[in-house]
Structures are given as C-alpha cells and as structure tokens.
Structure 1
C-alpha cells in the first residue's frame, strides 16, 4: 500500500453541493460540520477519473468492478475527501491572494506525514501560529498583494498588517507551488508564491462565509423563453471560486487483478492526467473544470 497527496485546482467555479439549503442560499456547497471548511467528496474525483478511463481492463483493475457486474472486484484506489488548502480572495493589490491559515497548514502537515512525504516547511516550529486577527504573513519581499509604503494587505473588506516574512511561510509557498504547478510551469509557480498569504484562523472563517461565489440562476420556459413561474423562477447557488486549491489523499492498494499484472506501480501512472476533469455539479453549465495532480509518495 502506498499513500499519495492529491491536489485539485479549480479552473472554473466548483459546486460540490449538499442538496437544498435552509438559508438564503438555495444550493450551498458541502462543508465540514465542525470546521465549516468546504470540501469535495472523494467519490466525486474517483468517479470523474473512472469515467475518463477509456480502457475497460484498466478501469476494472484500478477502480474495481461496476455495480452491475456479477463478479465482485474491489477498487485498487481509495480517495479521501479533497479539503481546502488555498482560497482565492479579492485583493486591492495583485488582483487576488491565495489565502490559508495555521489550522489548515497543520492539518496538511498531518496528511504529508501519513504519506511519508518530506516538506522543508515541516522542520519549523509553527511560527505562523503567533498570528493575530489584524495580521497576515506573505511569502516574500516580492509579494504583489502588499500595498507599498502602507505595509498592508487588503482582502475583501479587511485590512491586515503584513508581518515580516518568515522562512516557514517562504518554504510553504515554494513547496506548494512546485506541486500544484509541477515541471517547468514557472510562471504559475511564481504567481502562487507572490500571492501566498497566511491569515488567522478566525479571519479565514469570516472569509469562508463572505467570499465564496454566489450565483443567481433562473429557469426559462422551453417554448416562451421567459421565466418559468410554475417550476421555480429564481434560485441561488454557492460555489468555490475559480483558482481554489484543494488537497487530499489517495491510497493505492492493488487488488487481485492488479497484482496479477505486476506490483501495482502502473496504477499511479494511469491516475495521472494532464486533461482537466469536471468535478461536482452543474457540469453542463461549465462548473467544476479542474486540474488534478497526484504527488509521489516519497521525497521532498
């Protein structure tokens, strides 16, 4: 068994819903009960990867037998829920910032340890935990989200004092950028590093309730092309904004068929895809277009 870290980068608004809401938003996104953090169910990413696998033999080997098949065959892959890592927030400078918090990074550390992955940021003694609600940490002196001369970062309606950059924040920004945008994609790596921002957990909690995307939709009559008053005229949907980055884990446990074909190393290679996937709901209206990256299980 090997454990790998997954990264999901939203290229369009991502709606992983929970059905009908009870508040102002009719169709909210899925959130963890205790933390209120958004997540994408593991079944969503596994289903999209399975649907994109055109070879029937590989599909059965990696994802298991279809429910309609008589012969049972367990899946060789176990996907966790994909949880929030970086939330894009409007910024007065630099257009937007990729925002995270101490709690999210601590939880990410736990996943990295489970996957036996080394990260330079893990050697530090959690310097970022000392942040207060009026401060933030940016990745480097080249940050594009800090107002020059003011030493402040303006996120939505919040103004935060930018503290002196720490080695820990620089290490996190550099390491995450290299995994979300691997290879020679230096342009996007630099964009992430220059927009990386750590805020207090309470500040992120506020942004999670005010900075998600709310989309108003209407239903038109098929013949009249006017608002269909009989079947619901107007409703509001919530979505994670474009550029959101989620992370999770996938465990590879080769089933009988995979072991017959070798040691199962080919499974990870098959899971890697350069093509965007559509995850979550409302795919027919362009929601949920995402890039998916899967890390190696060892090495930093």
Structure 2
C-alpha cells in the first residue's frame, strides 16, 4: 500500500472534542490514552476532506459509501510539535524523541532522532536559550544539554510555506517524552463560556444553561496524518494533487467562532 503524509498546522485553536468529562474540564479534546498527546481522529479528517474536495463524481470512488469501500484510508493525525510559552522569543516549538520517531517512521525520513533526553533537560535552538544554559517553558526552567539538531529544524520548517512555521527555525526544543506528555495535557487552552437560557435570556440554572469550560489545542501546533492509497484511480490522483497545494481547511468543532482553521499540505 502506498502512503502519503498530510501535514496539519493549526492557525487558530483546535477543538476536536472527546465528549463529556468527569474531570475539571467540561469539554476536553480527544487524546491518546497512553501518551496523553492530542490527536485528530481519522474519521474527522476523512469527513473534512470529503467536504473540502467537492467533486461529486469522484467522492464515491475516493471516500466510499455504506456498501462500497473507498480508495483511501485515513489515519489519525499525530502530534509532531507543540507550542509552549517561552521566557525568550514568546514561544517555543516542543518536540520529543517519540514524536520525531513516529514522524520519521511514517514519512520515511532518514534522519537520526536523539534519545535518552532526561527530564527537565533539553536540546534547544539558540532563539529560546537564556544565558547559553537555560530555557524557561511555561513556569519550568530546563537545562540546555545541547543544540537542537539542525537537520530536523530544516526538515520541520520546510514542511509548509506557512510564514509562522517556515520562519521558526530558531524556536525548536527537544524535551523528554514524559515532559512533552505533561505539557500536552496541562498546557492546552481552557476557555470559559456561558450558555444562555432561551426563555429568560440569562445564564440560568436550568439544565443546558450556565457556565462551562472548553479545552482547545493551541494555534501553532503541528500534526501529521497518514493517508493509505488502497487503489490508484484517476479520482485518487486528482484528490492527491488537490491536497499537494497548500490549503486552509477547518477541522473540529466551533468553526463559526473561529476555531480549527489549519494549513494543510501533502508533503510526501
């Protein structure tokens, strides 16, 4: 099976909801159970791309129907880089050995991935380093243990023409898997909202009204998704060619309030 890699870079906060929650967040985003990294399910990607493509004659062949399998399988989007507040340069792009290993494996990049990164240490680009020794992310001070791999910085900034990503070669930082898992779980945005009671016009106490909070993945988060080509047809070729051009596509919920706008492009 041939495979294509779709890069997804959030321009605005992204909410792909996990449904109700018993925790402090009323509307959390969906995550991998074992890493706690946010993901975009393949079903969501498939639905969004089907709507974006808009070629009715090719839709059945590419996406399938209830009694007919499509020609492409859509994998879920995995995290590559997560933006974190930085005491220098405003924010840093955080990656970990696991996110780079996954990306290199699925995209067939022949790049070495540094391993054995200890907690609270990092490999950092110069743009986020203070006094050549430290990097402050959120409220934590990390010790610089070396330089961020130049070949990875060039690879990641070259994925898209998006000005923010392509101009951020000096913002990358490699931290441990456990540190990135912590930040991915606790450094997402939490927004407060109020449901208004339709009858009273106020934030009443009736069911379905009142205060609630919503979690979103921050803008400037980089994901990738694998697209498996099950059958090569003219429709599939046209669809892949369509995705090869950089596009602005909305993923997840709350699109009418500005959430989920992403830069997308087939990169390999």
What TM-score, normalized to structure 1?
0.82
Listed as ranges, the gaps of 5+ residues in structure 2 are none
Write out aligned runs for 1:141-180 (5 A).
143-147=126-130, 149=131, 151-165=133-147, 169-179=149-159
C-alpha distance after superposition, 1:25-69 (max 9, x if no partner)? 01111111122121110111111110112221122232223x4xx
Which whole-Å CA distance do the structure 1 matches of 2:163 and 2:221 have between them?
A: 19
For 1:268, which of 236, 240, 246 is the aligned residue?
A: 240
Which whole-Å CA distance do the structure 1 matches of 2:163 and 2:13 have between them?
A: 24
Which whole-Å CA distance do the structure 2 matches of 1:37 and 1:186 have between them?
A: 25
Q: Could you tell which deviates more after superposition, 76-85 or 100-109?
A: 100-109
- Segments of 4+ in structure 1 off by > 4 A? none
The alpha-carbon deviation at position 187 of structure 1 amounts to 6.7
SS at match of 2:62: helix
Write out aligned runs for 1:63-142 (5 A).
63-65=63-65, 67=66, 72-112=67-107, 117-119=108-110, 121=111, 124=112, 126=113, 128-139=114-125
**How many residue pairs align between the two structures?**
267
Which whole-Å CA distance do the structure 1 matches of 2:245 and 2:227 have between them?
A: 15
**Which residue of the partner structure matches residue 266 of structure 2?**
294
C-alpha distance after superposition, 1:253-291 (max 9, x if no partner)? 227xx3xx48x5333113345331111122222211111
**Which residue of the partner structure matches residue 280 of structure 1?**
252
Which whole-Å CA distance do the structure 2 matches of 1:42 and 1:187 have between them?
A: 26
What TM-score, normalized to structure 2?
0.91
Q: Contact 2:244–2:267 at 8 Å: present in 1 too?
A: no
Which whole-Å CA distance do the structure 2 matches of 1:222 and 1:22 have between them?
A: 26
Q: Contact 1:6–1:249 at 8 Å: present in 2 too?
A: yes
**Which residue of the partner structure matches residue 34 of structure 2?**
34
Which whole-Å CA distance do the structure 2 matches of 1:267 and 1:203 have between them?
A: 38
**Which residue of the partner structure matches residue 19 of structure 1?**
19
> Cα RMSD between the aligned structures?
2.1
C-alpha distance after superposition, 1:122-177 (max 9, x if no partner)? xx3x4x213211311124xxx32112x252110001111222215xx211111121
Q: Contact 1:88–1:99 at 8 Å: present in 2 too?
A: yes
Which whole-Å CA distance do the structure 2 matches of 1:197 and 1:56 have between them?
A: 44
**Which residue of the partner structure matches residue 58 of structure 1?**
58
Matched, 1:241 2:224: no
Which whole-Å CA distance do the structure 1 matches of 2:141 and 2:74 have between them?
A: 38
For 1:194, which of 170, 181, 187 is the aligned residue?
A: 170
Which whole-Å CA distance do the structure 2 matches of 1:39 and 1:250 have between them?
A: 15
Q: Contact 1:9–1:290 at 8 Å: present in 2 too?
A: yes
Q: Contact 1:100–1:204 at 8 Å: present in 2 too?
A: yes
For 2:187, which of 184, 189, 211 is the aligned residue?
A: 211
